[in-house]
């Protein structure tokens, strides 16, 4: 039986497009597998649950009860991929908990495959966050998201040690367009007849990137 992937999209910084990546990935997994469970751990940022209310649950890691509610759902090999949109304020607490409860070892035992998608930025807080993760997470489970809109082509060299996913920047008017709460990436692909539009190609490129990531993770585990 294959492992169930758990994608954790994170950054210790606000406004680096974590929720955008989580939306894209959740919609991709929903399109590909027909099922996905997303968890929104954002109290202070634009929220995944507002965009994808049918597949998203809210969670918190403030207290032990919240941690149990989240992690006891996540650590199950039920074949349904999970996406966690981890708000910047919960970054330290979440990974401290992962370290303390031995998440990576237990996940291996239970055939659950956490993949940490670290959304990069060029500041010191991000550098420290990445450094902490690279000590905690095996290299094959740690992926850096190079979001051109945030990093502007200046991804810190230290963050290139692990796999890097590149996400191209969209023009501001398109960014505003996809930020509308009722916008669906898959819906756009289905309904926009002109596949040459910049947004069409951007979504397809990102979906292809996720498909490649999934495939390479699958090969690593097999």
Q: Nearest distance from residue 111's CB to another protein, in Å?
A: 14
Give the C-alpha separation, 125 to 120, whole Å.
Answer: 10
Q: How far is the CB of 135 from another protein (least distance, A)?
A: 16
Tell me the C-alpha to C-alpha distance, in Å, between residue 54 and each of 23, 133, 197, 215: 12, 31, 28, 26
Q: Check residue 71 for interaction with another protein (CB under 8 A).
A: yes
* Residue 96 beta carbon to another protein: minimum distance, rounded to whole angstroms: 11
Identified binder of another protein from the candidate list 35, 106, 154, 179, rule CB under 8 A: 106
Q: Which one of the spans 22-30, 64-72, 148-156, 214-222 is the region binding another protein (CB under 8 A)?
A: 64-72
Q: Does the protein bind another protein through residue 97 (CB under 8 A)?
A: yes
Which one of residues 13, 18, 23, 67 is an interface residue with another protein (CB under 8 A)?
A: 67
Sheet containing strand 37-41, edge to edge, reads 56-58, 37-41, 82-86, 4-10, 112-119, 142-147, 163-167
Core vs surface per residue 210-222: b (16+ CB within 10 A) or e: beebbeebeeeee
Q: Cα–Cα distance between 32 and 185 in angstroms, integer?
A: 13
Neighbours of 12 (CB within 10 A): 24
Q: Which stretch binds another protein (CB under 8 A): 9-17, 45-53, 67-75, 114-122?
A: 67-75
Angle 124-136/91-101 helices, nearest 10 degrees?
10
What residues between 9 and 48 interact with another protein by CB under 8 A? none
- Which position among 34, 54, 65, 196 is part of the footprint of another protein (CB under 8 A)? 65
Q: Tell me, by CB under 8 A, how many residues bind another protein.
A: 14
Choice from 35, 50, 79, 102 touching another protein (CB under 8 A): 102
Binds another protein by CB under 8 A, chosen from 54, 72, 196, 219: 72
Looking at 28-36, 49-57, 98-106, 178-186, which segment touches another protein (CB under 8 A)?
98-106
Residue 201, Cβ neighbours under 10 Å: how many? 12
8 A C-beta contact, residue 118 and residue 129: yes
Considering the complex, what minimum distance in angstroms separates the CB of residue 110 from another protein? 8
When asked if residue 105 is in the footprint of another protein (CB under 8 A), the reply is: yes
- The kind and range of the H/E element at 135 are helix 124-136
Can you give the binding site for another protein, defined by CB under 8 A?
Answer: 64-65, 67-68, 71-72, 75, 97, 100-103, 105-106
């Amino acid at each position: 039986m294959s492992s169930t992937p758990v994608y954790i999209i994170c950054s210790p910084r606000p406004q680096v497009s974590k929720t955008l990546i989580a939306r894209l990935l959740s919609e991709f997994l929903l399109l590909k597998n027909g099922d996905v469970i997303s968890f929104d751990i954002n109290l202070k940022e634009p929220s995944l649950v507002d965009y994808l209310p049918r597949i998203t649950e809210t969670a918190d890691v403030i207290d032990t009860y919240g941690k149990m509610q989240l992690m006891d759902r996540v650590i199950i090999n039920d074949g349904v991929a999970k996406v966690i949109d981890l708000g910047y304020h919960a970054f330290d607490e979440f990974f401290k908990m992962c370290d303390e409860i031995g998440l990576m070892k237990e996940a291996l035992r239970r055939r659950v495959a956490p993949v940490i998608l670290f959304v990069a930025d060029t500041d010191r807080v991000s550098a420290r966050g990445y450094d902490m993760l690279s000590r905690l997470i095996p290299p094959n489970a740690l992926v850096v998201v190079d979001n051109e809109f945030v990093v502007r082509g200046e991804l810190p060299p230290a963050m290139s040690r692990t796999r890097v996913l590149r996400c191209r920047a969209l023009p501001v008017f398109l960014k505003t367009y996809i930020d509308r709460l009722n916008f669906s990436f898959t819906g756009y692909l289905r309904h926009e007849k002109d596949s040459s539009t910049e947004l069409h190609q951007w979504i397809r490129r990102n979906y292809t990137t996720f498909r490649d990531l999934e495939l390479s993770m699958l090969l690593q585990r097999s």
